[in-house]
Structure 1
């Protein structure tokens, strides 16, 4: 079975790469480090013009009604240039959840705006001193006097200052097995947003405090007390997309390493002629192609009912994460002392690799999911 991209998808990838190169590639990430989001906003506006934001949204909501595999070129190119922002959270997590569990009114309000590029949605899950698990969610949503009242704190919320809305996973019951629910809230003044430090300075994170925030029943996605189960469906799409993003980043890391090995000379010849350097770059390339194959299959299978759906997605996520970290670290070692300087992009890729290593679940967390899904 051939999971390689079609000619049209490769041509589309070329258009996205050309656009991102005009913005300077990783320059967008560097400007975010300097707290200048203007270029990032222009990038997302241009992505919307190209139709990227509507790829997996139904036609009735002004989308292209395509599948997860059609988003792969976009995510790979975003990864190649380390573009930060909320495209992945919005289109690969929030959109699949709303499509499957949202009401007609929620789909009309959110999917139409997302397809037009007018709405970016962040995801708030982690809480202080808790891990990413069902038991770790204690932010509460309680029904009081006919209204729903939200109380609690979320931390490490990505790009909160750029978000138009937030998808929150909250606790609605202590008495049932799931007991969680998903809610969509718009960015309102009542939300107390405070910037937090991030290991990857280009990925801004924040703490959000909800104090007696009143929401309506129409803001709850899907069934009450089944939020964790519904979230798992969204995480399949998200992790498939994340594997593609990391493949794109790995591809550029391998390119950087190979190009530097051609021009850096030692003992009168390019270091690329030394066997140890050759083997290192070949290993990186092999790992890249394995990760790419796993990513393509994961993005295909996620839209099917295949038995290995979960195993395929989480295998792609864990393998791509591990090999992205290895490749980024090896790239710095190959560059030597100059690889540690801020002038080169090497450090940007290491930080992004480490950022996603623990994002919405660690690598061991997803390895256990692979094992469980295979029934081992």
Structure 2
């Protein structure tokens, strides 16, 4: 089987790699992370100009194709650079929901400005007691004439601090038909309250409260009460995307650890000559290669559309989650005390890898999901 990238995919990878190396160094990233801004909007506009915001979408939607392999190419490089700009939250998650469930007018109104870099989106779905159960919602949207009245609280909304429009999951309908629906909500609508903050890995998020928020029924995405399958599909796609990001971050952590071991000296020799550390770094390399292999398997299953993608994604998340923990911890330990300081990029790779282990379902959650599948 041919696992090589197409010419277009290789060009895409080269484009992202060049930007990360030339314009997105660690010190540059840290200026954004330590500032009050949720991310660098100039870089976001650059992403749009280079066509990266088109990658998650099909040609029918105005994108570049939207294959899982295309997405993998970009997210791996983003992982190496620890990119904090919200491609995942704005385009893959919220944009993916609009692309999957939205009407043609809705796609024109929201996807076009998104791909042009002029609109920020966020998907508000997690709640304080929902854990990883997408169907466990306390947020409600009750009919009131031509509007829906939205009430509830969403937690850890990725890109919630910067979003212009929120895609919100809520329960609608009667007691007999109390299904999950998706609503497009202007973030500045009266009754919407946002508490913004930076996450431990430098990304932006928010706690968002909805108090008697009036949403036009025209802002429903898809069929009322039948949004759960759409949400599950897009969450799987986002899970795959962060798996690709983790593979890139792990490879970067391994590379930096090997390089450090060649320059750090102990007892008059570099620590790379110590057999025990050689074995540990060899184990890190094996973990990275296994993670890459299962990521490619998940990409092929997602693109095949044969119904086994959820199982493949859970297999990847489970295996890559274990690898991310091993590689991240080993990178920090081999670096020693400096490995946990803010001044070293490896510490931030470790933070991102740790966060990814729990995004969209923990390693244990996806292991159990794989078994049930």
TM-score, normalised to structure 1, is: 0.92
| 2:187 corresponds to 1:194 | no
Whole-angstrom distance in 2 between the partners of 1:178 and 1:318: 32
Whole-angstrom distance in 2 between the partners of 1:155 and 1:267: 50
**Preserved CA contact (<8 Å) 2:157 2:205:** yes
- Bigger shift: residues 191-200 or 65-74: 191-200
1:5 maps to: 5
Q: CA 1:126–1:96 in 2, change beyond 3 Å: closer, same or farther?
A: closer
SS of the residue aligned with 2:304?
A: coil
Whole-angstrom distance in 2 between the partners of 1:70 and 1:299: 9
Whole-angstrom distance in 2 between the partners of 1:262 and 1:70: 35
Q: CA 1:124–1:27 in 2, change beyond 3 Å: closer, same or farther?
A: farther
SS of the residue aligned with 1:149?
A: strand
| 2:18 corresponds to 1:18 | yes
Q: Give a deviation string over 1:226-263, Cα, whole Å, max 9, x none.
A: 22222111112111111111111111001111101111
Shift of residue 23, structure 1, vs aligned partner: 2.7
1:125 maps to: 125
Q: What runs of 5+ residues in structure 2 fail to find an aligned partner?
A: none
Whole-angstrom distance in 1 between the partners of 2:177 and 2:244: 33
2:33 maps to: 33
SS of the residue aligned with 1:278?
A: helix
Whole-angstrom distance in 2 between the partners of 1:24 and 1:240: 24
Shift of residue 347, structure 1, vs aligned partner: 1.6
Shift of residue 195, structure 1, vs aligned partner: 2.2
**Preserved CA contact (<8 Å) 1:328 1:349:** yes
Shift of residue 174, structure 1, vs aligned partner: 6.7
Shift of residue 67, structure 1, vs aligned partner: 1.6
1:269 maps to: 269
Q: CA 1:32–1:157 in 2, change beyond 3 Å: closer, same or farther?
A: farther
1:185 maps to: 185
Q: CA 1:328–1:177 in 2, change beyond 3 Å: closer, same or farther?
A: farther
TM-score, normalised to structure 2, is: 0.92
SS of the residue aligned with 1:302?
A: helix
Whole-angstrom distance in 1 between the partners of 2:101 and 2:62: 19
Q: Give a deviation string over 1:259-308, Cα, whole Å, max 9, x none.
A: 01111111222111111111111111111111112212212321323243
Aligned Cα root-mean-square deviation (Å): 2.1
Q: Give a deviation string over 1:1-36, Cα, whole Å, max 9, x none.
A: 223323432332122121122333333542243124
Whole-angstrom distance in 1 between the partners of 2:140 and 2:27: 40
1:328 maps to: 328
1:291 maps to: 291
Whole-angstrom distance in 1 between the partners of 2:130 and 2:65: 38
2:363 maps to: 363
SS of the residue aligned with 2:260?
A: helix
1:305 maps to: 305
**Preserved CA contact (<8 Å) 1:95 1:111:** yes
| 2:165 corresponds to 1:165 | yes
- Bigger shift: residues 243-252 or 228-237: 228-237
Structure 1 residue ranges (4+ consecutive) displaced by more than 4 angstroms after TM superposition: none
- Bigger shift: residues 29-38 or 284-293: 29-38
Aligned ranges for residues 168-247 of structure 1 at < 5 Å? Answer: 168-173=168-173, 175-176=175-176, 179-190=179-190, 191-196=192-197, 198-200=199-201, 202-247=202-247
Whole-angstrom distance in 1 between the partners of 2:4 and 2:293: 8
